[in-house]
Structure 1
Amino acid sequence: MSIDIYWRIGMEGDHASLRTPRRYNRGDAAGYGPGNIAPAVRAGELDGYSYIDHVAAVARATESAGFLGGLLPSFPVTEDPWAFAAALARETTTYRFMVAFQPGFLHPVQAARMSASLQRATGGRLVYNIISGGGGPAQLWWGDKVSHDDRYARTSEFLDVLRGVWDGDPCTHDGRFFRTEGAALPPGLAGQPFPEVYFSGSSGAAVQAAGRHADYYLSWLEPFADLRAKFDGVRAHAEKIGRTPKFAVRIDILARHTEEAAWDEIRKGWAFVDRDAANRAAQGDSVGAGRIKGWVPETITGYRDLEVQPNVWCGFSLIRGGPAFGLVGSYEQVAQRLDELIDLGVDAFILAGNPHLEEAYRVGEEVLPLLGRSRLTTPAPVLTNAL
Structure 2
Amino acid sequence: MPVDFYWRMAMEGDQPSLRRKGAASRGGFAKDATGGLAPGTREGGPDGYSHLDYLAEVARATETSGFVGALLPSFPHTDDPWAAAAALAGETSVYRFMVAFQPGFLHPVQAARMTASLQVATGGRVVYNIISGGGGPQQLWWGDKVDHDDRYTRTSEFLDVLKGVWYADRPYDHEGRFYRVEGGGLPPSLSGQPFPEIFFSGSSKAAIVAAGRHADHYLSWLEPLPSLAAKFDQVREHCAGIGRVPRFAVRLDVLARETEQEAWEEIRRGWARPGPAATPAFVGLGDSVGWRRGQDLAGEGNEDDGHRALEVSPNVWGGFHVLRAGPAFGLVGDYRQVAARLDELIGLGVEAFVLGGVPHLEEAYHVGERVLPLLRGGAAGRGGGS
Task: State the TM bucket, normalised to the shorter chain.
Answer: over 0.9
Alpha-carbon separation, structure 1, partners of 2:27 and 2:67: 23
Alpha-carbon separation, structure 1, partners of 2:70 and 2:278: 27
How far the C-alpha of 1:321 sits from its partner, in A, is: 0.7
State the AA in 1 paired with 2:289.
V
State the AA in 2 paired with 1:166.
W
TM-score in terms of structure 1 length: 0.96
Residues 95 and 379, structure 1, Cα contact 8 Å, conserved in 2: no
Q: Determine the structure 2 residue equivalent to 1:326.
A: 330
Compared CA separation, residues 276 and 49, structure 1 to 2 (3 A): closer
Alpha-carbon separation, structure 2, partners of 1:40 and 1:264: 29
Q: Determine the structure 1 residue equivalent to 2:90.
A: 90
Compared CA separation, residues 299 and 340, structure 1 to 2 (3 A): closer
State the AA in 2 paired with 1:352.
G
The 3-state SS of whatever aligns with 2:231 is helix
How far the C-alpha of 1:167 sits from its partner, in A, is: 2.1
State the AA in 2 paired with 1:283.
L
Alpha-carbon separation, structure 1, partners of 2:318 and 2:294: 8
State the AA in 1 paired with 2:215.
A
State the AA in 1 paired with 2:132.
S
Q: Determine the structure 1 residue equivalent to 2:148.
A: 148
Moved more, 39-48 or 347-356: 39-48
Q: Determine the structure 2 residue equivalent to 1:112.
A: 112
How far the C-alpha of 1:188 sits from its partner, in A, is: 1.5
Where in structure 2 are the equivalents of 1:300-315 lying within 5 Å? 300-315=304-319
Compared CA separation, residues 361 and 292, structure 1 to 2 (3 A): same
State the AA in 1 paired with 2:333.
G
Where in structure 2 are the equivalents of 1:373-384 lying within 5 Å? 373-380=379-386
Q: Determine the structure 2 residue equivalent to 1:121.
A: 121
Where in structure 2 are the equivalents of 1:109-258 lying within 5 Å? 109-169=109-169, 170-258=171-259
Alpha-carbon separation, structure 2, partners of 1:279 and 1:85: 24
Q: Determine the structure 1 residue equivalent to 2:38.
A: 38
Alpha-carbon separation, structure 1, partners of 2:191 and 2:245: 27
Which runs of 5 or more residues in structure 2 are unaligned?
A: none
Aligned residues: 380
Residues 272 and 319, structure 1, Cα contact 8 Å, conserved in 2: no
Q: Determine the structure 2 residue equivalent to 1:316.
A: 320
State the AA in 2 paired with 1:15.
Q
Percent of residue pairs identical? 65
Q: Determine the structure 2 residue equivalent to 1:289.
A: 291
Alpha-carbon separation, structure 2, partners of 1:171 and 1:273: 57
How far the C-alpha of 1:179 sits from its partner, in A, is: 0.7
Alpha-carbon separation, structure 2, partners of 1:99 and 1:318: 26
The 3-state SS of whatever aligns with 1:244 is coil
How far the C-alpha of 1:277 sits from its partner, in A, is: 5.9
Superposed CA offset, 1:238-296 (max 9, x none): 11111111000001000000000000000011024779664942111011111112121
The 3-state SS of whatever aligns with 1:180 is strand
Alpha-carbon separation, structure 1, partners of 2:361 and 2:205: 36
Q: Determine the structure 2 residue equivalent to 1:383.
A: none
Residues 34 and 42, structure 2, Cα contact 8 Å, conserved in 1: no
Alpha-carbon separation, structure 2, partners of 1:263 and 1:375: 27
Residues 321 and 328, structure 2, Cα contact 8 Å, conserved in 1: yes
Compared CA separation, residues 275 and 303, structure 1 to 2 (3 A): farther
Q: Determine the structure 1 residue equivalent to 2:267.
A: 266
Alpha-carbon separation, structure 1, partners of 2:44 and 2:242: 62
Alpha-carbon separation, structure 2, partners of 1:349 and 1:186: 34
How far the C-alpha of 1:205 sits from its partner, in A, is: 0.1
How far the C-alpha of 1:19 sits from its partner, in A, is: 1.1
TM-score in terms of structure 2 length: 0.96
Superposed CA offset, 1:92-125 (max 9, x none): 0000000000000000000000001111111110
Residue 2 of structure 1 pairs with residue 8 of structure 2 = no
Compared CA separation, residues 76 and 130, structure 1 to 2 (3 A): same
State the AA in 1 paired with 2:196.
P
The 3-state SS of whatever aligns with 2:5 is strand
Residues 14 and 26, structure 2, Cα contact 8 Å, conserved in 1: yes
Alpha-carbon separation, structure 2, partners of 1:47 and 1:379: 38
State the AA in 2 paired with 1:239.
A
Alpha-carbon separation, structure 2, partners of 1:338 and 1:47: 40
How far the C-alpha of 1:216 sits from its partner, in A, is: 0.0
* CA root-mean-square deviation: 1.4
Which runs of 5 or more residues in structure 1 are unaligned?
A: 381-387
Residues 168 and 186, structure 1, Cα contact 8 Å, conserved in 2: no
State the AA in 2 paired with 1:209.
A
Residues 275 and 318, structure 1, Cα contact 8 Å, conserved in 2: no
The 3-state SS of whatever aligns with 1:234 is helix
Alpha-carbon separation, structure 1, partners of 2:230 and 2:253: 21
